[in-house]
């Protein structure tokens, strides 16, 4: 009987996001495909070091061991590698005892067409064109930054999976963000005040947030234990724009564990205190500052009308 991924949180991650392949990427860019191929074949028994998305993937896969006979998460390696050059990746997965059995090896082709085939809920990569194509096709996706220079907050393995989100253009649509960008803070505040009772439209990460909330509730309902996932909303919004956010999450029946209405204050100190496995934001400036403190993924804006072309 075919295996269904429909009721699972499926994370698609590129090999370069899961493992540190920056030296190999440099060989590919400066010396070409054939030299890259020779390097990977010659070093296929050399274990790769963890990459930018490794800690999050490892933490999420632990969920499958908390409830016997029940799986919550599947991880799919989605790589532009060919089959021939992929053995080093699988050897590294085995070395770290990661429960990953599925892979897409596209041989240099775009990965976005295969996201829906595996019901991917979240796609993580260091290739911007793949991330943009994923967002255009309607899949939550983020371009990962390299691991933080300040590793104090990531060395310790936390008991909980911690994920932090920006609000507008990430959890929620960029409708209000566009008003702020084009008309200023006063127009934005007036718009949010007038529409306080109207739920915000869903953004690219709304589906992921719902999936995490479902898993949280499943553990809470099981035996009263604290959920192994903790979420945070870290948004530049402040009063009076806070009310619409609260009412939207209530309408979605989604609970965020911690919420920070920053009102323009830099987010990086709060994020370092929260210690997320990953922080998702759409603003390059916010991401650049956060990336030195916590693992960060930038969410690109959907390019209207380009989804079909990217696929």
Which CATH number goes with the domain that contains 190? 3.40.50
Residue 3 placed within a domain = no
Q: Quick one: 127 and 201 in the same domain?
A: no
Q: How far apart are CA 88 and CA 98, in angstroms?
A: 14
Which stretches in the chain have pLDDT values below 70? 1-4, 6, 149-158, 220-225, 305-311
Residue 304 placed within a domain = no
Q: Give me the pLDDT at residue 157, please.
A: 60
Q: Give me the pLDDT at residue 150, please.
A: 53
Q: How far apart are CA 116 and CA 135, in angstroms?
A: 12
Residue 301 placed within a domain = no
Q: Quick one: 232 and 127 in the same domain?
A: no
Q: How far apart are CA 237 and CA 75, in angstroms?
A: 33
Query: Which residues, in sequence order, are CB contacts of 134 under 8 Å at separation 6+?
Result: 111, 112, 115, 120, 123, 125, 140, 141
Q: Quick one: 97 and 158 in the same domain?
A: no
pLDDT tens digits, 13-69:
999 999 999 999 999 999 998 999 999 999 999 999 999 999 999 999 999 988 778
Q: Quick one: 128 and 173 in the same domain?
A: no
Q: Which of 144, 177, 210 is the last residue of a domain?
A: 144
Residue 135 placed within a domain = yes
Q: Quick one: 81 and 194 in the same domain?
A: no
Please report, for the domain that includes residue 115, its CATH number.
3.40.50.1000
Q: Give me the pLDDT at residue 158, please.
A: 64
Q: Quick one: 274 and 168 in the same domain?
A: yes
Q: Quick one: 27 and 71 in the same domain?
A: yes
Residue 306 placed within a domain = no
Q: Give me the pLDDT at residue 4, please.
A: 66
Q: Give me the pLDDT at residue 152, please.
A: 46
Q: Which two tokens mark 88?
A: 């080093």
> Inter-axis angle of helices 175-183 and 185-194, to 10 degrees?
140
User: What's the pTM?
Assistant: 0.90
DSSP letters, 106-172, are -TTS-SGGGTGGGT-SEEEES-HHHHHHHHHTT-EEEEEPPPPS-THHHHS--SSEEEEE-TBTTTB
Q: Give me the pLDDT at residue 154, please.
A: 46
Q: Give me the pLDDT at residue 308, please.
A: 45
- Percent of the chain past pLDDT 90, that is, above it, reads 70
Q: Quick one: 180 and 110 in the same domain?
A: no
Residue 283 placed within a domain = yes
Q: Give me the pLDDT at residue 224, please.
A: 56
Q: Quick one: 156 and 290 in the same domain?
A: yes
Residue 124 placed within a domain = yes
Q: Which of 122, 144, 166 is the last residue of a domain?
A: 144
Q: Quick one: 120 and 212 in the same domain?
A: no
Nearest in space to 165 (alpha carbons), one of 9, 282, 301: 282
Domain range for 281: 152-294
Residue 267 placed within a domain = yes
CB 78 within 8 A of CB 12: yes
Q: Give me the pLDDT at residue 7, please.
A: 74
Total domains, the chain = 2
Q: Quick one: 131 and 238 in the same domain?
A: no
Q: Quick one: 136 and 161 in the same domain?
A: no
Which string of b and e fits 89-102 if b means at least 16 CB within 10 Å?
beebbeeeebebee
Q: Give me the pLDDT at residue 309, please.
A: 40
Q: Which two tokens mark 190?
A: 């007036």
CA 161, 91, 297, 116 dihedral sign is negative
166 part of the active site: yes
Residue 177, H or E segment = helix 175-183
Distances (CA, A) of 41 to 38, 44, 45, 105, 148: 5, 5, 9, 16, 30
CA within 13 Å, CB half, 282: 22
What SS3 state is found at 303? Answer: coil
CA 176, 179, 184, 186 dihedral sign is negative
- Given 20, 130, 166, 281, which residue is catalytic? 166
Q: Give me the pLDDT at residue 177, please.
A: 87
Helix, strand, coil distribution of the chain in percent, nearest 5: 40, 15, 40
């Amino acid at each position: 009987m075919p295996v269904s991924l429909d009721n699972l949180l499926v994370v698609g991650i590129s090999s370069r996001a899961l493992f540190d392949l920056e030296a190999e990427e440099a060989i590919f860019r400066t010396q070409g495909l054939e030299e890259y191929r020779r390097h990977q074949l010659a070093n296929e028994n050399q274990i790769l070091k963890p990459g930018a998305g490794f800690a999050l993937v490892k933490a999420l896969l632990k969920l499958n061991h908390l409830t016997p006979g029940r799986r919550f998460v599947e991880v799919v390696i989605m790589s532009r590698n060919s089959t021939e050059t992929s053995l080093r990746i699988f050897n590294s997965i085995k070395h770290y005892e990661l429960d990953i059995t599925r892979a897409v090896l596209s041989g240099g082709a775009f990965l976005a067409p295969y996201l829906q085939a595996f019901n991917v809920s979240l796609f993580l990569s260091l290739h911007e064109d793949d991330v943009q194509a994923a967002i255009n096709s309607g899949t939550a996706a983020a371009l990962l930054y390299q691991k933080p220079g300040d590793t104090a907050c990531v060395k310790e393995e936390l008991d909980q999976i911690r994920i932090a989100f920006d609000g507008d253009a990430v959890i929620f649509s960029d409708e209000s963000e566009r008003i702020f960008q084009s008309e200023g803070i006063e127009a934005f505040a007036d718009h949010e005040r007038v529409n306080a009772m109207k739920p915000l439209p869903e953004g690219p990460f709304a589906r992921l947030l719902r999936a995490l909330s479902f898993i949280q509730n499943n553990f809470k309902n099981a035996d009263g234990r604290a959920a192994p996932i903790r979420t945070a909303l870290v948004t530049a919004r402040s009063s009076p724009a806070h009310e619409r956010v609260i009412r939207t999450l209530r309408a979605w029946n989604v609970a965020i564990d911690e919420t920070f209405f920053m009102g323009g204050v830099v987010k990086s100190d709060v994020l370092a205190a929260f210690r997320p496995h990953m922080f998702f934001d759409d603003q390059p400036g916010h991401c650049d500052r956060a990336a030195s403190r916590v693992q960060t993924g930038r969410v690109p804006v959907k390019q209207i009308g380009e989804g079909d072309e990217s696929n």
